[in-house]
Amino acid sequence: MAKKYSAIVLFLLTALALLAAYLFYQTQQETNGQRPPARAIAVKTSHASMQPLARQVNALGTGLANDSVQLIASSSEYLTYLNVIEGQSVQQGEVIARLNDVEQRARVAELQAQLTEQQRQLERLKNLAATQAAAQSMLDEQQSRVNTTLAQLESAESRLRQMTIRAPFDGVLGLRTVSQGAFVNSGSVITTLDNIAQLRVEFNVPERFIAELAVGMPVAIRNIAFRNEIFEGQIKAIDPRIDPVTRSVRVHGVVDNQELRLRPGMLLDVRVTLANQDVLMVPENALVPLQNRQYAFTVGEDDRVTQVQVQVGERIPGWAEILDGLADGDEIIVEGVQKVRTGVTIRRAE
């Protein structure tokens, strides 16, 4: 039994001595700068390159009627006629409502008769003046009366026209707020009229895109009510002022809406396609996010890796624009980024 224990102890001592000798040898090698070379890591690489990119700006917009008014009563009177069918399309000039205009009609008739008599008297004086039988002062006085009555008649006719409310443009009537026969006060809203055959879309664009915006650029509109359907339009106007708080510019687009499917007040998803530009692009899987920054691994001389911080611009499926940090032609790692770090050597996998 004692011999067996002695053999085990001898074996353990021999193993410890060999391990100590190996560790000493490794320490000496590292001290002398003769560390065995690390095995190259297999990765796949690509190159940063200049490619055409159609920039797109996405924004949330609001639908607006191309023209919109409130039809109101110009005087305090009874409503004798009301032609409001809610949601009905009307043509420009069509009668929407009429207020009690008996008094105005009588006043117009009175002034017309008065003007006729005064004009007859004026013609008579002109004939007498031609034969020197009437003084010029009498002629001037009668002319003044005619002019005064004519002005009064024009004013009365204007008030009479205001008693009839007409559609100022083609559009769709809104909800009525009064009933026929009701007494309405001056300024009371009778209904609304909206021209939505073309819908105006208002949205904001960040100021960094202002140099690339132009009237006539195409816009694509979506709304949750119509799922993935796209409504095509174009930019109609760009506000000359930039909001100093949001640092954005207000833009109006127009979309054809002959079927009246889109409505004012809708929340709209707007996409503006800007002009094509050549920009530096890399595959999106070459980017490594860390906190709020983006990094990439470049391959340099002797196939050694360097981690660099990059500034990312526009993204499209599978690709990302690089604004800063890389140059055209730089070799970057696109597969195996999780296995590398600065200073390691790589080999390119087939």
Torsion of CA 222, 228, 232, 236, to 10 degrees: 10
Would you list the domain boundaries of the chain?
A: 41-53+279-348, 57-65+196-276, 68-190
pLDDT digits (tens, 9 = 90+) for 339-350: 888 888 888 876
pLDDT digits (tens, 9 = 90+) for 91-132: 999 999 999 988 888 988 988 898 888 888 888 877 776 666
Low-confidence winner among 48-57, 80-89, 126-135, 159-168 (lowest mean pLDDT): 126-135
Q: What is the pLDDT of residue 23?
A: 66
Cα dist from 77 to 93, 105, 110, whole Å: 22, 14, 21
Domain 68-190, what fold?
A: OB fold (Dihydrolipoamide Acetyltransferase, E2P) (2.40.50)
Instruction: Give the span between the Cα atoms of 158 and 140, in whole angstroms.
Output: 27
Q: How many Cα atoms occupy the beta-carbon half-sphere of 249 within 13 Å? A: 18
Q: What is the pLDDT of residue 2?
A: 55
User: Taking 60 as the threshold, does the pLDDT of residue 31 lie above it?
Assistant: no
Q: How many Cα atoms occupy the beta-carbon half-sphere of 3 within 13 Å? A: 0
pLDDT digits (tens, 9 = 90+) for 134-170: 567 777 788 888 888 899 989 888 888 888 999 999 9
The average pLDDT across 311-323 equals 88
**43 touches 349 (CB < 8 A):** yes
Which residues does residue 268 pair with via DSSP β-bridges, in sequence order?
Answer: 61
Please work out, in degrees rounded to the nearest 5, the angle formed at the alpha carbon of residue 174 by the alpha carbons of 169 and 175: 150
Q: Which CATH number describes the domain made up of 57-65+196-276?
A: 2.40.30.170
pLDDT digits (tens, 9 = 90+) for 182-198: 898 988 899 999 999 99
User: In sequence order, which residues have a C-beta less than 8 Å from that of residue 302 and are 6 or more positions away?
Assistant: 345
CATH pick for 41-53+279-348 out of 1.10.3720.10, 2.40.420.20, 3.30.870.10, 1.10.10.10: 2.40.420.20
Q: How many Cα atoms occupy the beta-carbon half-sphere of 290 within 13 Å? A: 12
Q: What is the pLDDT of residue 1?
A: 53
Which residues does residue 43 pair with via DSSP β-bridges, in sequence order?
Answer: 348
Most confident stretch, 26-35, 210-219, 273-282: 210-219
pLDDT digits (tens, 9 = 90+) for 253-312: 999 998 889 999 999 999 998 877 888 999 999 899 988 899 999 998 888 889 999 999
Q: State the pTM of this model.
A: 0.61
